[in-house]
A and B are shown apart, each in its own frame.
Chain A
Amino acid sequence: MTKQDIQPQFESAAASPQSALARTKDLIYKYGLLVVLAAMIAYFSYAQPFFGSFINAMFILQAASIVAVIGLGCTVSMTVGGFDLSVGSAMSLAVMASAGAMVIFDLSGPAAILIGLACGLAVGLFNTFLIVVARIPDLVATLATLFLVNGMTLLGVGGQSVAEGMSVDGVAATGRFSPVFKWLGSGSLLGIHASVVVAGLVFVFVFVLLNYTRWGRAFYAVGGNPIAAAAAGIRVARCRMAAYIISGCLAAIAGMMLAARSNRGDVNVGDAYLLHAVSAALVGFAVLGANRPNALGTLTGAVFVAALINGLTMFNFPYYAQTFVQGLLLVVALLMSYMLGPKKRG
């Protein structure tokens, strides 16, 4: 594991002789959240057999897919010790740009996808400029990007939603969502829904990147201690640039998945996803005792929330109670990470 050389302070607790209590704590710390997830799925499936069906599992994964993709982007920026508040706005921009490319400018699906990705890349580069070149703190810089990009998006579409047949300068737009693009939202591959396939690929990419490549090791090193990382010969600036570009591009992919599913571009639709994505990444800290941003944890966090909402809906929980339960989950996950986990500094 890459963990030893980067964050050795985490290992001290495991090395000392363990009492039964400490062992239990350690088990809860590592597997608690997964056990809760498994128990929840088991209970929901028992109480409402449809919950456990393959088709409903697909719905849960579909519901998780967009949050997972954008959350994996957040995870990457968190590994370098950053925090990308602009993912929601990058998402909205990609939604409007890709939908607008097809509906207003009558471009093809692949062109729209490239334009969407370019938006994510541009947001990532702009963040890099603010954070790496101008040395503005991450939170402040990406907050500025959030408003700037959201504002640009609104200016670009005149505050209007993009939909087939929308009025552009008084004339109805003739462009249509291309079938290639729509596939992202409603197609499937070998019986697996397209958005689940895309999210799966993104997960594999981020998982391998963070766990099995030198880049990943460098990301965590930069996040752990940038000065030490620089002293060890890691190019800190380059790592952070890569992380923010990945974050922006994944947000753009999530945006296009959203646009493809809804077949329209709604104004500021990405806003709500920022917090859900961050929350998925944070819940992920508590998965397998990682206690740091990690791909598997983020995916678990996204699926956990989607399964929870899906189940609660079947039991007719009102929407406001669902938000509460989601908050409860985050608090429990954080408590597990911070109270049961090895203490960071003695």
Chain B
Amino acid sequence: MSKFNLARQLALAGASGLLLSAGAVAETVPLTVKPDVGDQAPEMFANGEVDIAVVRFLNTGDVYQEWILGVQDEAERLGVNLTVYNADGDSAKVALHLHQAVATNPDGILIGWGFGDSLASGLEAAKSAGIPVVTSNASVEASDHVTNVNQSEHMMMRGIVDAFKSDLGGGEISGDVIYVYVAGYRPLDLRNEIWEQFLMDNPGIKQVAQIGVVNANTAAQTADQAKAALLANRDTIAIIAPYDEFTKGATTAILELGLEGTVKAYGMDISTADIAVMTAENSPWVATATTDMRNFGRVSLRVAAGEVAGSYDGNDLEIPPLVITQDELREVGIMNVEELDELFPALATPDLANAPWMDNVN
């Protein structure tokens, strides 16, 4: 396939310009597989010659561990060699790592989380080296050389507030709620937009406290804050905690105060550890919205590989979420996220951004 050979030559030579000007898109365009992409694997993939550098801003915690496992899974399927850089949540480190990754001249770069300010100069370097970049949940604008893969934060948040509303019987709902939020994190900010809208649409719902902290001990410290807030607001009926470390903290606080009969937690994300917390006896965590981080990792790597092969139009992909209730999880007797894929087929999205050749690499 000549098209793939061209892409390969450009990538190998580190040539810029040609590859970029070919599909110059200045704004966000939904990503689709090009209609003329064939089903024969490009030679460089068939020969296992594709190197992708994975630059991670966040790496500690269930969510990030699941994500990287998915990335590794898909890399194996597509015959991609990975080099993984971990920055431990340090912006300065991720900035340096991105430059370092560019210097090794990989065929593509996949960024897992991160802030635009600290990634900007490395992205410039990648652009001039002609290396396609895919970002996964990073605060970076999509452009002609940067493709974004995100979970749909808006859809996820809408999913759990809808579940909350229907648990209250729908219609004119009312009650006191505690909300967990920290500004400045793109996914949380996006979820917050939906929350603010929800509060406006449902004037009976009163946010009596807003808590939240993001650090190495998020769950434990959120639990401490949630306890204080619950003690100060005895009429609370729910904690809306749209990030699993928040939800775990909220769940701990409710259980430790013995309030599981009256206060529910609505959370976000799912991991094996989260499943255990959610399905435990008396757990107040009643609903979660998730995209399955392992699948997210798979799709992210898939898109990075597809960009290396030049298989896509557009530069923005949103992974649709699924709302899962505690009852559903208990009903199927689930233990871990591998089973989740199987029991909730809507979570795995094998066709998303899957170019026909990807099924024929081996």
Contacts and interface: CB of A to CB of B under 8 A. Distances in A.
Nearest to B214: A267
A240 B272 CA distance: 52
B183 A160 contact: yes
Interface string A276-304: 00000000000000000000000000000
B96 A263 contact: no
A81 interface: no
Interface stretch (A140-148, A220-228, A311-319, A337-345): A311-319
A88 to B, nearest CB: 12
Of B60, B82, B89, B118, chain A has the most CB atoms within 10 Å of the CB of B118
Of A261, A266, A314, chain B has the most CB atoms within 10 Å of the CB of A261
B275 to A, nearest CB: 22
A267 B215 contact: yes
Interface stretch (B99-107, B285-293, B353-361): B99-107
Interface in A302-346: 310, 313-314, 316, 318-319, 322
B121 A262 contact: no
B115 A264 contact: yes
B184 A319 contact: no
Interface residues on B, range: 20 to 34
Given A313-B83, A319-B59, A59 B99 contact: yes
A59 B91 contact: no
A268 interface: yes
A313 B215 contact: no
A163 B184 contact: yes
Contacts of B85: 313
B84 interface: yes
Given A262-B91, A262-B118, A314-B83, A62 B96 contact: yes
B92 interface: yes
A164 interface: yes
B172 interface: no
B84 A262 contact: no
B16 interface: no
A87 to B, nearest CB: 16
Given A166-B184, A314-B83, A319-B60, A262 B92 contact: yes
Contacts of B216: 271
Given A263-B117, A319-B86, A268 B215 contact: yes
B90 interface: yes
A50 B104 contact: yes
B95 interface: yes
A272 B88 contact: yes
A271 B165 CA distance: 41
Contacts of A257: 92
B13 interface: no
A2 interface: no
Contact of B92 (A164, A185, A268, A313): A185
Contact of A66 (B91, B92, B117): B92
B232 interface: no
A3 B49 CA distance: 57
A166 B185 CA distance: 12
A167 B189 CA distance: 12
A55 interface: yes
B18 interface: no
Nearest to B120: A263
A108 interface: no
B97 to A, nearest CB: 8
A211 interface: no
Interface string A20-56: 0000000000000000000000000000001000011
Interface in A73-117: none
Contacts of A55: 103
Interface string B207-231: 0000001011000000000000000
A264 B119 CA distance: 11
B103 A59 contact: yes
Given A59-B99, A313-B83, A319-B59, A258 B92 contact: yes
A63 B59 contact: no
A197 B103 CA distance: 20
A272 B92 CA distance: 12
Given A266-B91, A268-B215, A316-B83, A186 B117 contact: no
B96 A59 contact: yes
B241 to A, nearest CB: 17
Contacts of B118: 261-264
A195 to B, nearest CB: 9
Of A257, A259, A272, A313, chain B has the most CB atoms within 10 Å of the CB of A313
Contacts of A63: 93, 96
Contacts of A178: none
A269 interface: yes
Contacts of A316: 82-84
Given A262-B117, A264-B118, A316-B84, A167 B183 contact: yes
A327 to B, nearest CB: 15
Given A59-B103, A316-B83, A319-B88, A164 B117 contact: yes
B18 to A, nearest CB: 25
A59 B100 contact: yes
Contacts of A167: 183
Nearest to A62: B96
A257 B93 CA distance: 11
A269 B91 contact: yes
A96 to B, nearest CB: 13
Nearest to A53: B103
Of B84, B88, B91, B103, chain A has the most CB atoms within 10 Å of the CB of B91
Nearest to B115: A264
Given A59-B96, A266-B89, A322-B86, 20 more contacts: A50-B104, A56-B103, A59-B100, A59-B103, A62-B96, A63-B93, A159-B182, A159-B213, A163-B115, A166-B184, A185-B92, A257-B92, A261-B118, A262-B91, A262-B94, A263-B91, A264-B117, A271-B216, A313-B85, A314-B83
22 contacts: A50-B104, A59-B103, A159-B182, A160-B184, A163-B184, A186-B121, A261-B92, A262-B91, A262-B94, A262-B117, A262-B118, A264-B117, A266-B89, A266-B90, A268-B215, A269-B90, A269-B91, A313-B85, A313-B86, A314-B83, A319-B59, A319-B86
The list of the 4 closest CB pairs from A to B, nearest first, reads: A262-B91, A319-B86, A261-B92, A263-B117
